[in-house]
Amino acid sequence: MAIRALVLSDSHLGFDLPARPRIRRRRRCHDFLANYRSALRPAVSGEVDLVVHAGDVFHLPRVSRELVYEAFEPLKRIAGAGIPVFVVPGNHERSKIPHAHLAGHPGVHLFDAPRTFQLTVRGTRLAVSGFPYQRRDVRSRFPTLFEATELGSLDYDVAILCMHHCVEGATVGPADYTFRDAPDVVACADVPPGLAAVVSGHVHRHQVLTTDMSGRPLAAPVLYPGSIERTAFAELGEPKGYILLELAADAGRSGGRVLSWRFESLSTRPMIERALRVDGLGALALERMIRDAVSEAPVDSVLRLRLHGRIDADARPALSATRLRALAPPDMNLDVILVDEPRPRRRLSRRTARRAPRTLDDPQGELALGPPKPRDRYPRA
Ligand SMILES: [Mn+2]
């Protein structure tokens, strides 16, 4: 009988959730929490046999105890109902779940180090292996990390590997950037035999890899559920959701196999990016242009306006955080990028990057928590 797994990743809880907000506006943190709860619904209602969270539970390594409690409360409830939960610490939590004692439950298993958890599900011996995100050189270290899970020395019918890494051939971004042979990318040839599947977070676009770059089949499929909401405009247009997976033992294949998988999509905020030419516009004309763009977007959208051209000094006040806030409906997240300005002054937006300078006429200095600058080469995975 098939084993049913729910796999989600990159919930980025705490995205746009400042500890002490100075300004009241719609925060995107609620979008992430809502989709997190929706993604777990099939587990809460007992439709699956296990749950894997493949990393980046949180958006930042330092989060409040309240948020950790909020994240793990449904996982502990699911585990308490007899459905084991497995969690991979990702790069955003720096390979370690914060306040991990709040995650403590005999049915919630953390990959705090390379290891394998063994259990029997419907008479099938299941091995769930995994390791936390490796910051340095996962490409050369992968074989050693996998060996350290000790899966190779165990008896099992079905095995899966849980991790938080790019695998060669995975794609992201508007230009379909493809991960190839960088030190932070796992080589296809290293995907080991003896597994039904690899499930991974980190890549925010949902995808399933079954072959290497030259079309040869992988030893096991690599499944990415992708992030549960869009963390960046690079994810614009991508469906967001989670994966339901059916696994079974197979006499002819060590580690069993994937019987079926299904991507379940979640509802997301409309995300829109628009380019506007603003050369030589006065304050009034600029404000009208922004107002028109705002009124054409759905009231609950995440809207980014990319302004091209030189902006005159007397038009600049129209771009202040206060003015922009006043223009946007309360449920909209509006962001303005000055494309032709030098970098440090580009982002004058409502969602200001953490270390960015204060916005023009915002005396209190809105310093909302933007996404951290990840060390990863490409993009905010
Ligand atoms: Mn991520």
* Predicted pLDDT at 344: 58
**Contact criterion met (CB below 8 Å) for 34 and 12:** no
Question: pLDDT of 278-303, one tens digit each?
Answer: 998 999 999 999 999 999 999 999 99
How far away, in angstroms, is 322 Cα from ligand 1 center? 31
How far away, in angstroms, is 56 Cα from ligand 1 center? 5
How far away, in angstroms, is 351 Cα from ligand 1 center? 19
User: CA-CA distances (angstroms) from residue 103 to 85, 109, 159, 320?
Assistant: 11, 9, 24, 42
**Contact criterion met (CB below 8 Å) for 224 and 205:** yes
**How many helical (H) and strand (E) elements, i.e. helices and strands, does the chain have?**
5, 19
* Predicted pLDDT at 44: 98
* Predicted pLDDT at 361: 24
How far away, in angstroms, is 205 Cα from ligand 1 center? 10
* Predicted pLDDT at 51: 98
How far away, in angstroms, is 295 Cα from ligand 1 center? 32
Specify the 3-state DSSP secondary structure of 38: helix
What are the backbone dihedrals phi and psi of residue 215, each rounded to the nearest 5 degrees, phi first? 90, 0
How far away, in angstroms, is 58 Cα from ligand 1 center? 9
Sign, CA torsion 146/214/381/27: negative
Q: Which residue ranges form the domains of the chain, and what is each CATH number? A: 3-266 (3.60.21.10), 271-345 (no CATH)
* Predicted pLDDT at 378: 44
How far away, in angstroms, is 225 Cα from ligand 1 center? 11
* Predicted pLDDT at 223: 98
The reported pTM is: 0.88
Which stretches of the chain drop beneath a pLDDT of 70? Answer: 343-381
How far away, in angstroms, is 178 Cα from ligand 1 center? 17
* Predicted pLDDT at 203: 97
How far away, in angstroms, is 78 Cα from ligand 1 center? 23
- 306 DSSP β-pair partners: 275, 337
How far away, in angstroms, is 132 Cα from ligand 1 center? 13
